[in-house]
A and B are shown apart, each in its own frame.
Chain A
Amino acid sequence: MAGAGKSRKRRTIRPKQVKDVAHQEEVVRVLTNTLETADCPHMLFYGPPGTGKTTTALAIAHQLFGPELYKSRVLELNASDDRGINVVRTKIKDFAAVAVGSNYRQGGYPCPSFKIIILDEADSMTEDAQNALRRTMETYSKVTRFVFICNYISRIIEPLASRCAKFRFKPLSEEIMTHRILHICNEEGLNLGGEALSTLSSISQGDLRRAITYLQSGARLFGSTITSTDLLNVSGLFDIVVEADNDITDMQKAKICKCLAETDKRLVDGADEYLQLLDVASNTICALSEMAQDF
C-alpha cells in the first residue's frame, strides 16, 4: 500500500499488551495488577524519549476497555491539541465530570467504572493549566483517572505530581534493545551484522524509536544488508575525538564542567552555537593552562 511507510513499521511493532512492554518491570507489574482488579491510581509516566511511555498508556487503555468502549471512555490529548487553561476548564472538566455505568465485563475486557484521560507530553502544558487541573483531579477521582506522560518530571508542578503514582521509564539496556531490533529485522527480512547491531544500540542511546528510525532509513537507503558505517551515515553523527592526557586535575575538570553547563543553558535559550563554542574552547584553554580565570 502506498504511503503508509514510517508509521507502518512502528505501529506494527508497537506492543498491544502491557505485558509485552520491554524492560519496565515495575510498571508492568503494577499495571497487570490493575488489569486484574480493574482499578488504578492516577499515574505519571516519566522518562527519556523512546522508552515506551505512550505505548504503555495506550496499551492499558485498550486492554481495559476494548475497542468498543475505547472511544467513549478514553480522552487522549497531546501537545498537538491546544491545552491552554481554557481547554482544561471546559473540555477536560466536561469529560471528567460525566458519570459512567457500573462495573460490568464486556467482551472479555474488564471495563471498570471510570474513564481515562491521557495527557501526553504534559511537560509542555503551562503552569496555569496544570494548576487548573488539581481540583478537577480530586473532585472527579471516582469516575476519572488521569495519566500524565512527560519527559521531564521537574516541569510538572509538585501538587500534580503528588497526586499521582509515579513511574520512571528507564532507558532501554543494550541487551533488550538488540533483542527488539533483531525481532524487527526478522519480521522485515533485514540482514544486520553483529557489529552493526552494537553500533545501532550505541548511537541511539537507549531510545528505541530512534533506533528504529535509523534502521528504517538505513534499510531504505542501502537495501536489506546494513553495515555499521551505513548506520553512522544515516544518523548524521560524527565522531569528534577529544584526546586528553590523564593529568587533568579535579579542579580543572570542575571548571570545564561548569563552563559546559553554562553553555548548555545558553544554547537551550537559543544562543548562537559558534560563539558559544568559542567560549567553551577559550574557557577550556584557560582551565588547562591554569590561567587565572577572572571573567
Chain B
Amino acid sequence: MLWVDKYRPKSLDKVIVHEDIAQNLKKLVTEQDCPHLLFYGPSGSGKKTLIMALLKQIYGASAEKVKVENRAWKVDAGSRTIDLELTTLSSTNHVELTPSDAGFQDRYIVQEIIKEMAKNRPIDTKGKKGYKVLVLNEVDKLSREAQHSLRRTMEKYSSSCRLILCCNSSSKVTEAIKSRCLNVRINAPSQEEIVKVLEFVAKKESLQLPLGFAARIAEKSNRSLRRAILSLETCRVQNYPFTSNQVISPMDWEEYVAEIATDVMKEQSPKRLFLVRGKVYELLVNCIPPEVILKKLLHELLKKLDSELKLEVCHWAAYYEHRMRLGQKAIFHIEAFVAKFMSIYKNFLISTFG
C-alpha cells in the first residue's frame, strides 16, 4: 500500500493539516443534519480526505465499506436513447461519482441519474439518518447546462439527500450553485505543515530523517501534500538511509518542459520550432494536460526573462490558453505560443544588440 493511502487520516479527529476545518465540519454534522457542501482547493490539499472522514463521522464505519461499480444507464432523450457508463463508488449510505466523465453528455447524468438517486429515499434501517449523501467530483468540469440542471435538484430533494461537491476552482462553478452550498475552502498546506506530516509518516515507518531533508521535499512539492508523501516514498526506495544531500528527483515531465524552455531561449528559428513541436507532442502523448504544460512552460520562461518582456509573455500565455479552451487541438495553441514567444524574443534581441 502506498504511504499516501496508508496514512490518510480516517476520522476527523486525526486530521493533521486542516484541523480547524475538520473541527468545524464535526460540529456541523453532530446535529443530525448538514447543509449541502462545496469543497474547493488545489489538488493534493486534502479535500477528498476530509470528505471521506466526514462521511465516516456521519455514518460510522459503514461508510468505509465501499464497492466500485461500473454501471450502465439508458437515458431516454426524446427521439433517441443515450447509453451512459459511469463508475460509481458506493456504500450503503453514499454514492460517489464523477459526472464530468460523460463529457458533453454530462447534462443527462445530472438530469436523469443524479435526480433519480436523489429522489429515492434511503432505506432507514435503524432510524439513524434521514438522508443520504451524493459526492460529486470535479464539478468545475461540468458544463453550464449540467450545472443549471443541478440547482433545482439540490433544492427539491434536500429532504432526503445531501450533495457534497468537490472541485479545484470555485470560479468555474456557477453562482447559483455556490449560493446553495456551504462553501469550504481547503488551502494548500503550508510548507511547515507538510514537514509536520512528513515527520509523522517517517516516525510511523521508523525512518531516520536527516535535518532539513523534509523541508527540502516540502519545498519541491509545490505545496501538494500528496506529491510530498509520494516523493518521500520514492526517495526511500532510491536510497536508504537518507543522506542529507540526497537528490530529490523532480517529475520527469517537468524536467522535459524546462528543457523545451532552454531550447526556445537558445535559438529562434522555424527549425527549432519544429523540434519543439516534437517535444510537445511527446508530452501530450504521455497524458500531461496541455494547460499544465503551458503553465509550466511560462513559469520556466519567466525565470529567464527580463521584466519588460515578462509582461508581454504573460499576456500571450493567457491569450493562447484561452484560445486552447475554445479550440480542439491543444498542440496548435501551444505551438503558436512558442512561435509568438520566439518572435518577441528575437525582436527584443535585435533591438537591444543589433
Please list the residues of chain A having a beta carbon within 8 angstroms of any beta carbon in chain B.
Answer: 1-7, 49-50, 78-82, 84, 86-87, 120-121, 124, 151, 207, 209-210, 213, 216-217, 220-221, 234-236, 263, 266-267, 269-276, 278-279, 281-283, 285-286, 291, 295
Contact = CB atoms under 8 A, between A and B. Distances in A.
B130 interface: yes
A72 B287 CA distance: 54
B266 interface: no
A236 B183 CA distance: 6
Given A2-B33, A7-B159, A275-B298, 14 more contacts: A2-B131, A6-B35, A84-B77, A87-B78, A121-B152, A124-B149, A151-B176, A234-B182, A236-B183, A236-B185, A267-B171, A275-B321, A276-B321, A295-B316
Nearest to B145: A124
Interface stretch (B61-69, B203-211, B307-315): B307-315
A201 B169 CA distance: 25
B322 interface: yes
The residue among A124, A267, A281, A283 with the most chain B CB atoms within 10 A of its own CB is A124
Contacts of B18: none
Contacts of A151: 176
24 contacts: A2-B131, A4-B159, A5-B33, A5-B35, A7-B158, A78-B152, A79-B148, A79-B152, A80-B115, A86-B78, A121-B151, A207-B179, A217-B35, A220-B28, A267-B171, A269-B322, A269-B326, A271-B322, A272-B321, A276-B321, A276-B322, A278-B314, A279-B319, A282-B314
Nearest to A278: B314
Given A6-B35, A213-B180, A275 B317 contact: yes
A213 B175 CA distance: 13
Interface in B299-339: 308, 310-312, 314-319, 321-322, 325-326
B158 A6 contact: yes
Nearest to A283: B315
B28 A86 contact: no
Nearest to B159: A4
B286 interface: no
| B interface, size bucket | 35 or more
A130 to B, nearest CB: 14
B33 A3 contact: yes
B24 A221 contact: yes
Nearest to A267: B171
B32 interface: yes
B255 to A, nearest CB: 21
A5 to B, nearest CB: 4
Contacts of A79: 145, 148-149, 151-152
B12 interface: no
Nearest to B176: A49
Nearest to B107: A82
B317 A278 contact: yes
Contacts of A210: 179
**Top 6 closest A-B pairs, CB basis?**
A3-B130, A279-B318, A86-B78, A282-B311, A2-B130, A5-B33
Interface in B78-112: 78-79, 110-111
Contact of B169 (A86, A120, A207, A273): A273
Secondary structure type dominating chain A contacts: helix
B318 A80 contact: no
A279 B117 CA distance: 43
A213 B179 contact: yes
B123 interface: no
Given A49-B175, A79-B148, A80-B153, A3 B310 contact: no
Contacts of B130: 1-4
Contacts of A286: 311
A149 B140 CA distance: 25
Contacts of B47: none
Contacts of B315: 279, 282-283, 295
B176 A266 contact: no
Contacts of A1: 130
Contacts of B49: none
Interface string B235-252: 000000000000000000
Contacts of B317: 275, 278-279
Nearest to A81: B111
A217 B172 contact: no
A279 to B, nearest CB: 3
A272 B115 CA distance: 30
A136 B115 CA distance: 29
B182 A213 contact: yes
A50 B180 CA distance: 10
B27 interface: yes
Contacts of A78: 152
Contacts of A267: 171
Nearest to B161: A3
B283 interface: no
B227 interface: no
Contacts of A220: 27-28, 31, 34-35
A121 B174 CA distance: 13
A217 to B, nearest CB: 4
B160 interface: yes
B77 A82 contact: yes
